[in-house]
Amino acid sequence: MKKSFKEIERSSRNVLSEAGVEVSAFEIKLLLADVLGVEPAQIGYGEILLNAEQIEKFETMLEARKKNKPVDKILGHKGFYKYDFCTSEDVLSPRSDTEILVEEALALIAQNAYLNVLELGVGSGCVIVSLLADISELQGVGVDVSAGALQVADENARRLGVGERLILKQASWNDADFVQRIGKRFDLIVSNPPYIATKEIEELDAEVKNYDPLLALDGGDDGLHCYRQIAKVIPFLLKQGGYLLVEIGEGQAADVCGIFEKYGLQTNKIIKDLSGIERCISLKK
């Protein structure tokens, strides 16, 4: 089959639109590039030749997208910050909003010559692996309750060449022996915990509620349960003078600051995302 990208894009979007799924031209280009085994930038405006096997693979991808499966979970990877990360239904799809957590962490590491970092709720590893990939002297520990998530994080660490500097542990911050199992204090702690109120889960987009793990979304009755649990262990895991960076949901900044201030941390600053929403809190011990 020979068609231009515009023709393939138009027909693909029509198919998906009939199923109630709206996609961008870039998403179609990502899927098509994967089928062809090329970079998205290599797909131009000339004719594209697809053989029968490639047509079948592309149609299978469109069928998955019709069911609201996110593009990254169809492809099995997604770009985040400066790198490309493996994804699966065991992990939250990396969000561009979370990149500010990485950027703020890098600034603190540079300013203070920090040597180690802990991530609570490591998921795909996109945050801590990005930090380790950028700073060769940094050592990290990533913790998650999900064995599936830890497998994805381990794969990403190895793919980006930082596996020897990242220790991954399966544990829950709800465990009574959590602090003992971590076993040390850190210069910097980062976390993007679940912060969606339980009653709001059903209102989320289908590609989020059906394909991101509930463990990575559900923040309890008011969305703040995980912050309360993390606040209890932070005093024992963070060095004096060290920083905690947490991602938050819209409208949660004041409440989250209050939770950690009760445990001796001071709010350093609140950082907004590209949409102007307060998205990240920096706290100092």
Q: What pLDDT was estimated at residue 112?
A: 96
Helix 99-112 to helix 126-134 angle, to the nearest 10 degrees? 40
pLDDT digits (tens, 9 = 90+) for 37-86: 988 888 876 778 788 898 899 999 999 999 999 999 999 999 999 999 99
- Mean pLDDT (the chain) is 94
- What local confidence, expressed as pLDDT, does residue 117 receive? 98
Tens digit of each residue's pLDDT (9 = 90 or more) over 273-285:
989 999 999 999 9
Which pLDDT score is estimated for 19? Answer: 87
Q: What is the mean pLDDT of the segment spanning 250-273?
A: 96
pLDDT of residue 94: 96
**What is the DSSP code (8-state) at residue 203?**
G
At residue 17 the predicted structure's pLDDT band, cuts being 50, 70 and 90, is confident
Give mean pLDDT, residues 239-256: 97
Q: Would you say 191 and 230 are in contact if contact means Cβ atoms under 8 Å apart?
A: yes
> Counting Cβ atoms within 10 Å, is residue 201 exposed (0-12), middle (13-18) or buried (19+)?
middle
Predicted pLDDT of residue 49:
79
Mean pLDDT of 252-259: 97
The larger pLDDT score, comparing residue 89 to residue 41, is at: 89
Cβ-Cβ contacts under 8 Å for 122 (sequence gap 6 or more): 128, 142, 143, 144, 149, 150, 153, 168
Please give the pLDDT value at position 44: 75
Q: What percent of the chain has pLDDT over 90?
A: 82
pLDDT value of residue 3? 77
User: What is the C-alpha separation between 202 and 172, in angstroms, rounded?
Assistant: 25
- Euclidean distance between CA atoms 50 and 8, whole angstroms: 11
pLDDT at 119 over 80: yes
State the pairing for strand pair 238-247/278-284: antiparallel
What residue type is assigned to position 161 of the chain?
G
Task: Kindly tell me if the per-residue pLDDT of 267 is higher than 80.
Answer: yes
pTM over 0.85: yes
